[in-house]
Amino acid sequence: MKTEILKLLRESGDYISGQELCGKFHVSRTAVWKVINQLKEEGYGIEAVQNKGYRLNVNPDVLSFSELKSRMRTKWAGRNIVYYEETGSTNIDAKLLGEQGAEHGTVVVADKQNAGRGRRGRSWQSPAGKDIYFTILLRPEFEPDKAAGLTLIMALSVTQAVRNCCGLEAGIKWPNDLVLNGKKICGILTEMNVETDYIQHVVIGTGINVNLERMPEGIEQTATSLLLEGGKETARARLLQEVLERFEENYESYERDMSLVSMLEEYNRYLVNKDKQVRVLDPKGEFEGIARGINDSGELLVETENGKIVKVYAGEVSVRGIYGYV
């Protein structure tokens, strides 16, 4: 009931009488009053006026089950939410849920991670109450070789959400990082459980640096937050809502086309590597070239000195800028 009352208060924008809430949920005024007090204790500014009812005045940066559920307008992405105040890793949690049969689109969210990791096993700093850590569980019906595009879809979705919600010109560092002003604000880790030629499930873990006032020592030159770059705090639940809405839309386009063709132009527009000199760290041998964008399979097209275009697959190599992180 708390989730539903919060949603009604947010969407109304005006007073809702206690009697109306009692009638809608078939509960007593005391039960409604208790829920209102719970919301106040969580930081929501709720005004109570006699003969008018309740009105939501302040919507704080709360990342909770009720806050997230009250915001979901998607068809399947995030309709089932599993929330933890603290966990080891949302990816590990989501993989366990996948093995237990959790539905497609289940989202695991944590206010804090204490064992998060990124690509190639790197640790991920995860303080409480500042950032967004979430993993979405997917059960694709396409072939395993198409799963590589899912990381790029999430990167595009987060970029769109940051631009829409924060007005900041986030860009994509192929294949799995987002950057602002040359510094990392988001990392994405995709893991897949495959049986022969069948995808059991995929989990996409995403960490977004949102309201950190300062970056941990040692990474301040390469990482930043939305707060540091934009100068104001961002409501994390609102941003996550936008990410999931954009992801659902982009995923369905990918399923329909079985390629990134419908997203290609926008993705390449946000690609910070594009037309930049890069170093490709390929186990078969490093080489340098100019990144020319991605193709509709998600491969990075790198033009070498002799004019040859090399297709770089995300699962095989890393790409680094010649003159810095990007």
pTM of the shown model = 0.86
Q: Which residue, among 170, 179, 188, has the nearest Cα to 90 in the 3D structure?
A: 188
12-15 long-range contacts (CB < 8 A, ≥24 apart) are: 12/55, 12/56, 13/56, 14/55, 15/49, 15/52, 15/53, 15/54, 15/55
Could you tell me where the DSSP H helices lie in 112-235?
Answer: 149-166, 226-230
CA contacts within 13 A on the Cβ side of 143: 4
pLDDT value at position 14? 82
Architecture of the domain whose range is 2-58: Orthogonal Bundle (1.10)
Rounded to an integer, the average pLDDT of 32-43 is 84
Phi first, then psi, for residue 164 (nearest 5°) are -70, -45
Higher-pLDDT residue of 316, 28: 28
CATH class of 273-321: mainly beta
- pLDDT tens for each residue of 220-279: 888 999 999 999 999 999 999 999 999 999 999 999 999 999 999 999 999 998 998 888
Helix (H, G, I), strand (E, B) or coil at 44: coil
> 219: pLDDT confidence band, cut at 50, 70 and 90?
confident
Locate tokens 């994390």: which residue?
A: 236
Q: Which residue, among 4, 280, 161, has the nearest Cα to 172 in the 3D structure?
A: 161
Which residues, 6 or more positions from 95, have their beta carbon under 8 angstroms from its beta carbon? 191, 193, 201, 203
SS (H, E, C) 220-239: CCCECCHHHHHCCCCCHHHH
- What is the CB neighbour count within 10 angstroms for residue 325? 15
Domain coordinates in residue numbering, the chain: 2-58, 65-269, 273-321
Number of residues in the chain: 326
Please give the Cα distance from 142 to 272 (Å, whole number): 29
Q: Which residue, among 220, 238, 128, has the nearest Cα to 182 in the 3D structure?
A: 220
Q: Say whether 273-321 and 65-269 share the same fold.
A: no
The CATH number of 65-269 is 3.30.930.10
Could you tell me where the DSSP H helices lie in the chain?
Answer: 2-12, 18-25, 29-41, 65-71, 90-99, 149-166, 226-230, 236-257, 264-270
- pLDDT tens for each residue of 158-209: 999 999 999 999 999 998 899 999 999 999 999 999 987 889 999 999 999 9
Q: Which residue, among 126, 163, 152, 192, has the nearest Cα to 293 in the 3D structure?
A: 152
pLDDT at 120 over 60: no
Helix (H, G, I), strand (E, B) or coil at 296: coil
